A = this chain, B = another copy of it.
């Protein structure tokens, strides 16, 4: 292994080290409460070092953002074993809900944290893939005769909105107080109610 090669590996390793430290703190404290100094001290480096590997705090954030989408997409694709498209459609919502439940911090990072950076639209390929996956499953349902007369795009958007709305209210925990039910209960029964409606279409 050449020296140049080793150096390159070391660079990648350091990149990863920063990301590991950042992930820990980001998922623990959220975007605003995470500071470059926190991350630096977590991995026992000086704050300045981080800027040798990342342009700014936002770039680190976006890396984790992508990471989250990759994780979600993986779990969405796991539902591919279900053969019936409509059953798969219903499962996809549950995948989303489970993701919000078990990876609440990722969910916050992915969907709820406001982006301070301007680099919008970049690095959203995985997000796009996730949407297209859902859209594809809905198309398969429509091919089977379900959801007749409904536009695929709007139905996809509406499904996403509804499930995201449920998960988003769950993650912010703004609702359980009003309804005197646990967040999990609301989320699951809310989704069941949604499926009950959609089942009649």
Q: How far is the CA of A186 from the CA of B189 in the complex (A)?
A: 26
Tell me the minimal C-beta distance from A57 to chain B in angstroms: 12
Q: How far is the CA of A193 from the CA of B193 in the complex (A)?
A: 16
Are A154 and B112 within 8 A (Cβ)?
Answer: no
The interface bits of chain A over 148-168 (1 if a CB of B lies within 8 angstroms of the residue's CB, else 0) are 001101111110111111101
Are A193 and B116 within 8 A (Cβ)?
Answer: no
Residue with the greatest number of chain B CB neighbours at <10 A, chosen from A116, A120, A161: A161
Which of A10-18, A20-28, A172-180 touches B?
A: A172-180
Tell me the minimal C-beta distance from A155 to chain B in angstroms: 6
A128 contacts across to B, CB distance below 8 A: 178
Are B201 and A155 within 8 A (Cβ)?
Answer: no
In the complex, whether A197 has a CB less than 8 A from a CB of chain B is yes
Interface size on A, residues (CB 8 A): 52
**CB closest chain-B residue, reference A170:** B161
A157 contacts across to B, CB distance below 8 A: 166, 169, 175, 179, 186, 189-190, 193
Q: List 26 A-B contacts (CB under 8 A).
A: A108-B114, A111-B174, A113-B114, A121-B177, A124-B177, A127-B174, A128-B178, A150-B193, A151-B189, A151-B193, A154-B193, A155-B193, A157-B166, A158-B166, A158-B197, A160-B169, A160-B175, A161-B162, A161-B166, A161-B168, A162-B165, A162-B194, A164-B168, A165-B165, A168-B168, A200-B200
